Structure 1
Amino acid sequence: MTHPVDTGPRLYFPALDGLRFLAFLLVFARHTLGPQDNSMVAFAVEFGWSGVDLFFLLSSFLFFAMLSAENDKNGQINFRFFYLRRILRIIPLYFLYIAIVWSIGYAYGTPGNTIWSLLAYLTFTINLLWGWTSERWSFFMGNHLWTIAYEEQIYLVLPFIIAAIIGTKGRLKIALAALLVAACISAWLRWYITSHGLMVSENTVYMTPFLRAETVIAGIICGMAWASDIYKRVPSWVYGIVTLLIIVSLWLYTREYGFSQFNHRNGLIVYPILALLFSALLLYCLSEESYLARILALGPIAYLGKISYGLYIWHFFIARWIPPRVAKYFELDVTYGLMFVIGLVLTILVAAASYHLYERRFIRLKDRFTFVRNRPA
């Protein structure tokens, strides 16, 4: 097998690594902080679930950027190498985590730790089974892994969608129209299922890719804007203002009327709003003039984004299992704030060790199937 050798400049966006860490912090706050008196903290906690949508948007943008650069270089996209890269990046840590937590849960006799639930995780169908049956399929410390299954299902079609867009040979309006139609179909299906009582569980919409495709589609559109440089026609500060206005509007609205209308399980307009919000945020961070991008690109923050996959995989177990035992051992008062700090520090330490001692071996192997170099391992 001939392996690609790329000695050209890296296609790397340090600020987007920082943005990945921000996405992780949103999810982490959601999973570790309870009810809050402070309205700003409560807002972050309530919308912490949206961190996964920011991950989805970033992934689709970066895949479009990488695959379009690969197509420019080679005249085609190597789908086999794409899937090999995804397998080498996702599978090793995912399976290691499952082996550890499922074994612990099984040893303790935790409800849900059955062979069937294990098979659901190993076959990346947990999100569909959880969303479309009345059973709760998650096992011990595995609740958050449905997003990995969700992304793997997106990967089945994403490179072919990108190849089709590239195949339009610059006719961006056609590709954009097709993507917007797909987003409208997704929104209509979501409306139809929720309004006709077809939701099997409260997670039916939340865990089904084609029912909430807006953020993935938005990431592709951002990739098109980046590849064509069209996004530069708008001053970077405009993207920053749009981002700020949406956040402030959501905060003011939810303070007045509560979070029910923007709940991730039944909100009919929340996903388009998030797609617009995170698109503006991403495009703002692509500009060298962006103050936020300069902060997110700082070495320590970008590094935390580099290990964000490990942060996400490990955090649910590390942050929810260990801190209460640490607090009890040192006779500390168990508070949400203390659990957040201890959990975050321990998660970073474990994720860093996981990256350097385990994941990086597979990342270096993945690079053998990479035509366009990106972030250095």
Structure 2
Amino acid sequence: MKKRYFHSIDSLRFFAFLKVYLLHLPIQGDFPIFSFLKSGGGIGVSFFFVLSGFLISYLLIFEKVKKNRINLKKFFFRRALRIWPLYFLMVIIVFIIPFDFKEKIGFHMVGGGYDLDWKYSFTFLENYKMLLADQFPKTTPITVFWSLCIEEHFYLLWMISLFIIPIKHVLKFLFLCIFISWEARAHETSIFNNSLIVSNDLFTNLDYFAIGGLLAYFIVTDYQKIIDFIENISVQIKRLMVIVVVLVVVFQKYILPNEYGTILYILRPTIISLLFCILISIFLPENSSIKIKSKLLSFLGVRGYGLYIYHIIFIHCGFQYCITENIKIDNWLVIGAFIIFTLGGTIILSSISYKYFEMPFLAFREKKYFN
């Protein structure tokens, strides 16, 4: 048994980021194409959750099957060295920058929001602060840190659960997690009487991770059978499946309307998770007939963590500049310039951050906890 490298995953990660980026673009005026592309941008985060569920479950289940145990210390520090440095760097910067300067450059969200509380920001509990306040934090990039908090909670739950649970019961655990997510979404209104911030905790998002985990379980325990099955699907059918997933993502507003309090609201994340797992599985075989071969997309996907954190800074600062200079983002020239500045700046800063800040921690992780 050997660990597998899954090609095309990094490229898919970049496409998910791009959906989130489009959601946050503050386009003004009547631009139906942008309204259409922006709608349901949160599905990009949903893909991140499913992908994390798959990759993290794969690592943990693989280790459990191969060694009959999980090294909790090794796993914890591997994840910490990937997530914590950039996370805490941003939190520290946000807390030490003077209030007036943050206001001037656009670090404060236009339209308000709640003031940061270090007890939540430094302990990966910002998502619960958002639920309690029923609004976003006013300071960027903390506005998007809710998903990082959920990811951190997922790591803790998964490593402890899979450490304790025998392999023969892992499937039951994963299905239990799916059921818990249904119950959590069905009863969240009785806990948080919110109108803006909903489904912002681990339990209401648990099926994303669990369904990604199901795919990982079958890949680890019956790799060749699963891969043979995927490879025997015709190229035409695979392409059709990819098109179906893309159409659901693009037209989700109409195909899977997110109407709060309905049965579809409860089941929608599960359906989306299954579709994303189908998409991921198509690219799993090493000699897959369908690959995303772009080195550029792979390069950008590897830097997806930085892209996710930095993009909102550029967008907020760019929007603040437009407000200060009385520039309306309501024509194609300004929109194009805004995208070049925000997306281009995000890519440049993410690349610099990855090479000079994140990579030293990853190199240490490789030396200390991989060998």
Range into which the TM-score falls when normalised by the shorter chain:
0.7 to 0.9
Distance 1:113 1:357 in 2: 33
Equivalent residue in structure 2 for 1:284, among 270, 282, 285: 282
- Is contact 1:239-1:280 (8 Å) kept? no
Distance 1:11 1:250 in 2: 28
Distance 2:36 2:162 in 1: 35
Residue 119 of structure 1: aligned partner: 119
Residue 248 of structure 1: aligned partner: 247
Taking the TM superposition and a 5 Å limit, the aligned residue runs for 1:318-337 are 318-322=314-318, 325=321, 335-337=334-336
In structure 2, give the amino acid aligned to 1:160: I
Secondary structure class of the residue paired with 1:347: helix
In structure 2, give the amino acid aligned to 1:298: S
Structure 1-normalised TM-score? 0.80
Structure 2-normalised TM-score? 0.81
Distance 1:333 1:48 in 2: 19
- Is contact 2:19-2:44 (8 Å) kept? yes
Residue 350 of structure 2: aligned partner: 351
Secondary structure class of the residue paired with 1:212: helix
- Is contact 2:37-2:250 (8 Å) kept? no
Deviation, 1:272, is 1.3
Aligned length: 351
Distance 1:253 1:50 in 2: 9
Distance 1:128 1:219 in 2: 24
Residues 160 and 353 from structure 1, CA distance in 2 versus in 1: closer, same or farther, beyond 3 angstroms?
same
Q: Is 1:300 matched with 2:293?
A: no
In structure 2, give the amino acid aligned to 1:345: G
Residue 267 of structure 2: aligned partner: 269
Equivalent residue in structure 1 for 2:204, among 211, 226, 233: 211
Q: Is 1:202 matched with 2:195?
A: yes
Identity value in percent = 24
Secondary structure class of the residue paired with 1:350: helix
Equivalent residue in structure 2 for 1:51, among 20, 44, 49: 44
Deviation, 1:105, is 6.0
Residue 148 of structure 2: aligned partner: 148
Q: Is 1:193 matched with 2:192?
A: no
Deviation, 1:43, is 3.7
Secondary structure class of the residue paired with 2:117: helix
Higher mean displacement: 353-362 or 10-19: 10-19
Residues 149 and 254 from structure 1, CA distance in 2 versus in 1: closer, same or farther, beyond 3 angstroms?
closer
- Is contact 2:60-2:162 (8 Å) kept? yes
Residues 367 and 251 from structure 1, CA distance in 2 versus in 1: closer, same or farther, beyond 3 angstroms?
closer
Distance 1:250 1:60 in 2: 19
Residues 3-39 of structure 1 deviation map (CA, whole Å, 9 limit, x = unaligned): xxxxx98743231111111111111111115376445
Residues 38-79 of structure 1 deviation map (CA, whole Å, 9 limit, x = unaligned): 45x544311211111111111121112223333455442110
- Is contact 1:261-1:267 (8 Å) kept? yes
Residues 248-304 of structure 1 deviation map (CA, whole Å, 9 limit, x = unaligned): 35655735x89553899x933321121112111111121346565x22x42211111
In structure 2, give the amino acid aligned to 1:193: E
Q: Is 1:309 matched with 2:305?
A: yes
Q: Which consecutive segments of 4 or more residues in structure 1 shift more than 6 A?
A: 326-329, 331-334
- Is contact 1:240-1:280 (8 Å) kept? no
In structure 2, give the amino acid aligned to 1:349: I
Residue 375 of structure 1: aligned partner: none
Residues 365 and 253 from structure 1, CA distance in 2 versus in 1: closer, same or farther, beyond 3 angstroms?
closer
Residues 10 and 357 from structure 1, CA distance in 2 versus in 1: closer, same or farther, beyond 3 angstroms?
farther
In structure 1, give the amino acid aligned to 2:150: Y
- Is contact 2:47-2:276 (8 Å) kept? yes
Distance 1:276 1:333 in 2: 37
Higher mean displacement: 98-107 or 318-327: 318-327
Deviation, 1:211, is 1.5
Secondary structure class of the residue paired with 1:267: helix
Residues 126-147 of structure 1 deviation map (CA, whole Å, 9 limit, x = unaligned): 1012113446545344200111
Residues 193-236 of structure 1 deviation map (CA, whole Å, 9 limit, x = unaligned): 34xx5433235542111022111111101111221224322445
Residue 3 of structure 1: aligned partner: none
In structure 2, give the amino acid aligned to 1:269: L
Residues 43 and 240 from structure 1, CA distance in 2 versus in 1: closer, same or farther, beyond 3 angstroms?
farther
